[in-house]
Structure 1
Amino acid sequence: MPRLHPDALPRLPSDIARPRYPREALRAGIVHLGVGAFHRAHLAVVNEAALHASGDLRWGTVGVSLRAADTRDALRPQSGLYTLALRDAADDGSPREALQVVGNLLDVLVAPEDPQAVLERIAHPDARIVSLTITEKGYHHDPATGALRLDDPGIAHDIAHPEAPRTMPGFVVHALNLRRRRGLEPVTLLSCDNLPANGDTMRGIVLAFAQEVDGELRDWIDTHCTFPNSMVDRIVPRTTDDDRTRISARLGVDDAWPVIGEPFLEWVVEDRFASGRPDWTAGGARFVDHAEPFERLKLRMVNGSHSALAYLGAMAGLRTVDRAMNEPALRHFIDALMREEIAPTLPAMQGIDLDAYRARLLQRFSNPALQHQTKQIAMDGSQKLPQRLLGTVRDRLAAGLSIDRLALAVAAWVHYLRGVDETGAVHEIQDPLAIALSARLAQAGTAASVQERVAFFTGFAPVFGELGGEPRFVSAVAHHLGLLEERGVMGALAAMS
């Protein structure tokens, strides 16, 4: 079967959407770091709609992989084209799928192979926005405080080697230094990662790194560049070989790396751009003055409950999110977690009905067509828990409120870190702090009681900060961890009801 390619677009089946603008005229106004599945199913699709609506061809995208060459190797023979498959279930429960070929990704650079090319692309006169979906661990920060870790080996390397950086802060700051020296316009640094106040967090990290390089550079960035906060939401499961085969068969050409997503999409962005922006409202984005209420809503309701479901589901041997949601006890727990413990910590928001929002989330999590793996959501827990669960815990403790269900979710993560589920299946702990967490667990294992074990483990400041010394938190987590170890997931859930 021939590959997906611009020459093949006219021959695609009529029901498959495709680019309707002259791709050869696109300029790379956006440089995107972390060109993975989420970016290609979210920001790139919104940008595609903006290109169709406006005809403004300054906003093509060059993607950057900070680690592996696999995305570049899959998409370069396709001239950057790939397929988005939106999947849900029909009324009879059967899966259905709508396909769109996306065209605004012009190229993918692989940073470890040619760091200079990445620096030059960000420092190119066409570049106006540097956007990011690099996951929480890509910020090289302390998850509990948001501060740049100057002791991180990658950060130390990048401060000393401006010509060959390895990390996001290194690439961004050294490229901005090139722009400053060349008299080019400043750019917008747009984080689309699941971090609280993601733009403000990125700003602090970039400025801290820049201060180590050159105080005048730091001041130039602080004065001229902007860091809008944003909230992104779409469930994007990992693409499988079966997905590739099925989608290629419908296209009639081979797409080496399509992406899968749910129909739902949300993107809220603060309208603070240093050198212009596309009209992303054409693709469903919403521009606001302050994104923080939307960020908190999404991090706590969507991501917090998703992580809780993933750890409990994975430990019960439930491989997909929809399978976990089919367990009445788990579904009831997630519903009650959102309704009784998370929602009361959220501010009133005009146009947001929290009961309707919760009901929509339960429906999204139950989508059987996505086959979203619990182990995919369970990755990088040390980076995710501080903003997904622990911030809610802090707010409820400060108000003197119960954290019963939140504590079970945290205990489920600790339980998951032992690396074997209740069926005896072994799973790898994929986390940037995996070695430190394993050592901490091993040390905690020598304690005489579950309470002492949890007290020692939650004393791990990079994740828990001062919360690890809060007796109410330690006692609640220890209680639920004991139940999980003695009775398993379903037994612990039964004890709560």
Structure 2
Amino acid sequence: MTDRLRRDALPEQVAAPVNPERVGIVHLGIGAFHRAHQAVYTERAMAATGDLTWGILGVTQRSATVRDQLRPQGGVYGVLTAGAGASPSGYVVGDDLRLDLVGAVTDVAYPAEETERVLATLAAPTTHVVTLTITEKGYARLPGGGLDVDRVRPDLDALAGTRGASGSAAATPASSAIGLLVRGLAARHLAGDAPITVLTCDNMVDNGRVLERLVREAVDAALPGPGGHDLRAYLDSRVTFPCSMVDRIVPATTSGQRDAVERALGVRDEGLVVGEPFTQWVIEDRFAGPRPAWEAVGVTLTSDVAPYEQAKLRLLNGTHSLIAYAGALAGHASIAEAMADPRIAGHARTYLFEDALPTVTPPDGTDLGAYGEEILRRFANPHTGHTTLQVAMDGSQKIPFRWGGVLTDCLEAGRVPEGLAFGLASWAEFVRRRTLAAGGQGQDVPGGSCDGVDDPRAEELAALVGGSDMAIVAADATEVVRRLIALPGLLPATSDELVETVLEAAAA
């Protein structure tokens, strides 16, 4: 049996990672993206400054998989940079593939079994920052944007029973990221009122403000009236929720990539993640206390993240979704394959340069035309292997942020965004085909598994596709598209002309 990658037995040919002295950051949602992005910046900041107090306790959400990957390795894992311009400092693994080891993550906790440990770490005075990458659907929001209290009720009941103190209710396993965060803030308040920064890194407009509002709604629901006064005062005076923007394409790691690294190093890295050469992080400079020296390793600290966030969401993420839905329908397994299809590339350009770009305020010093071309080059990088089905997940949660602002601005300017309309048609047809296939009423998109749409609102979408009358509705694809794009909370604005343009694109 091949040995696992470990700090005490590192291969000679790859540089050793940092060895943190203690935990300074708790990260909720430690998937591949965090390990290839924020953890890398934190690793580099510790290496650059010698300040080793910024170890990360990662917290999983849905399963213990990441814990079981990283705990036997002492938290150490590799980041495989795929494509031209790969990290020059890394160890060469293959053509255009370089490996860097990361040691910033000290351990991973699984809340279903280790909630008390996570709460204690959140309350510790040596913890100064909480970061999150829980995806849009992890924020437990209703279609209108408010907190879905029912989804976080077990955590709110635990908070109401303990006010964050130790005891039987404090040991109640966390059932949601938002609930765990609020319970952790309450525990920190009771443990000594130490300040803390809560930094969301998910793709949402004004993401820090969104998270702060949800946290406050959770406190109000758990501790209404005077009962929550002290905790609200703590949030007012000692906790900040900066906005941020993150960017790096991080596809799912394949067994072939793990095998390639194993052949090169002689040890198995079950925690391996893959990323493109490009990476960016912009943070609102609004911290409640100490933080890593991220600015020393390329992070942009600014008083206003909004222009960066808007450019990324509308130009990069919006184009990414269009390519994913259209690519999946056309039978392309990866984003790069879809970009090689001139039909899809043409629609992507229409959306990016004609629909979205005129609605974006450029960040200081940014050439949006050049930024747009760089986006398309990144999507065409065949080394990343980002799949169309991976990007197509959770459309009902992503579309409002990625396309909503573009749509509103275009309609207010008196024009129908044709590229965006094509994207909506592609999403609706993607949902229709996958839903019908899951019900045995049609053929799935190429490469699909006939298991329906991967979306937190899948049941609502299935009802719109036809429900019990699925076979009848399946014959009228136009009606299905009309129903889907009218999904409550999906689009902030619409018009008869837009609907007709979407229907024409769906028919084509």
1:399 corresponds, among 413, 438, 445, to 413
Q: Does 1:458 align with 2:472?
A: no
Aligned 8 A contact 1:6 1:81 in 2: yes
Segment of structure 1 superposing worse, 275-284 or 29-38: 275-284
Q: How far apart, CA to CA, are the structure 1 residues paired with 2:85 and 2:304?
A: 37
Conservation of the 8 A alpha-carbon contact between 1:64 and 1:108: yes
Q: How far 1:404 moved relative to its partner?
A: 1.1
Q: TM-score, normalised by structure 2?
A: 0.88
* Partner in structure 2 of residue 491 of structure 1: none
Decide whether the 8 Å contact of 1:326 with 1:366 is kept in 2. Answer: yes
Specify the code of the residue in structure 1 equivalent to 2:399: L
Which position in structure 2 is the counterpart of 1:4? 5
- Residue 450 of structure 1, CA deviation: 5.6
Q: 1:424 offset after TM fit, Å?
A: 8.4
2:133 is the alignment partner of 1:146: no
Partner of 1:467: 493
1:481 aligns with 2:479: no
> Aligned ranges for residues 184-263 of structure 1 at < 5 Å?
184-214=193-223, 215-216=228-229, 217-263=231-277
Decide whether the 8 Å contact of 1:451 with 1:474 is kept in 2.
Answer: no
Bigger mean CA offset, 248-257 vs 192-201: 248-257
Moved more, 417-426 or 218-227: 417-426
The 3 A distance-change label for structure 1 pair 453 and 97 is closer
Q: 1:158 aligns with which of 155, 159, 163?
A: 155
Q: CA deviation at 1:169?
A: 1.7
User: Take 1:352 and 1:12, find their aligned partners in 2: how far apart are those partners?
Assistant: 41
Q: Are 2:320 and 1:306 equivalent residues in the alignment?
A: yes
Deviation string 1:239-279 (CA, Å, 9 cap, x unpaired) is: 11111110121122111120000010000000111111111
1:175 to 184, 189, 200: 184
Q: Equivalents in 2 of 1:220, 1:423: separation in Å?
A: 52
Q: Give the structure 2 partner of residue 277 of structure 1.
A: 291
Please say if residues 416 and 498 of structure 2, whose CA atoms lie closer than 8 Å, have aligned partners that are also in contact. no
**1:58 matches 2:53:** yes
**CA separation of 1:427 and 1:95: change in aligned 2, threshold 3 A:** farther
Residues 314/453 of structure 1: CA separation in 2 closer, same or farther (3 Å cut): closer
- Alignment partners' CA distance in 2, 1:472 and 1:67: 42
Tell me which amino acid in the other structure corresponds to 2:333.
R
Shift of 1:184: 3.4
Shift in Å at residue 436 of structure 1? 1.5
- What is the alpha-carbon distance in structure 2 between the residues aligned to residue 274 and residue 427 of structure 1? 48
Three-state SS of the structure 2 residue aligned to 1:409 is helix
1:414-493 matches, within 5 Å, as 414-417=428-431, 418-419=433-434, 420-421=443-444, 423=446, 426-428=449-451, 429-442=453-466, 452-464=479-491, 467=493, 470-483=495-508
1:360 equivalent among 374, 384, 408: 374
Which of 381, 384, 389 is the equivalent residue of 1:375? 389
How many residue pairs get aligned? The number is 470
1:67 aligned counterpart, secondary structure: coil
Q: Give 1:454 shift.
A: 3.6
Partner of 1:28: 23
Q: Secondary structure at the match of 1:431?
A: coil
Contact preservation (8 Å) 1:450, 1:478: no
The aligned amino acid for 1:48 is E
- Quote the residue 1:38 is aligned against: 33
Please tell me whether the aligned partners of residues 83 and 102 of structure 1 are also in contact (alpha carbons under 8 angstroms): yes
Letter aligned with residue 194 of structure 2: E
Distance in structure 2 (CA, Å) of the matches to 1:36 and 1:422: 27
Deviation of 1:365 (Å)? 0.5
SS at match of 1:269: strand
Give the drift of 1:451: 5.5
Match of 1:29, SS state, is strand
Question: Does 1:84 pair with 2:79?
Answer: yes
Deviation at 1:479, TM superposition (A): 1.9
Alignment match, 2:365 = 351
Question: SS where residue 461 of structure 1 aligns?
Answer: coil
2:454 and 2:409 map into 1 onto residues whose CA distance is 29
Letter in 2 for 1:47: T
Instruction: Supply the distance in 1 between the matched residues of 2:103 and 2:193 (Cα, whole angstroms).
Output: 28
2: distance between equivalents of 1:421 and 1:90?
37
TM-score by length of structure 1 reads 0.90
Q: 1:423 to 1:259 in 2, by over 3 A?
A: closer
Determine the C-alpha separation between the residues in 1 that align with 2:294 and 2:448.
44
1:300-347 deviation digits (Å, cap 9, x = unpaired): 111100000000001110001111111122222212221111100001
Task: Give 1:493's aligned residue.
Answer: none
SS at match of 1:161: helix
Letter paired with 1:149: D
Asked if the contact 2:80/2:275 (under 8 Å) is kept, the reply is yes
5+ long unaligned stretches in structure 2: 87-93, 160-169, 435-442
Distance of 1:221 and 1:132 partners within structure 2: 18
Coordinate RMSD, CA, aligned: 2.0
Percent identity over the alignment is 39
Partner of 1:121: 121
| TM superposition shift of 1:425 | 5.0
Instruction: Flag structure 1 segments of 5+ consecutive residues without an equivalent.
Output: 484-497
Instruction: Tell me the secondary structure at the aligned position of residue 239 of structure 1.
Output: coil
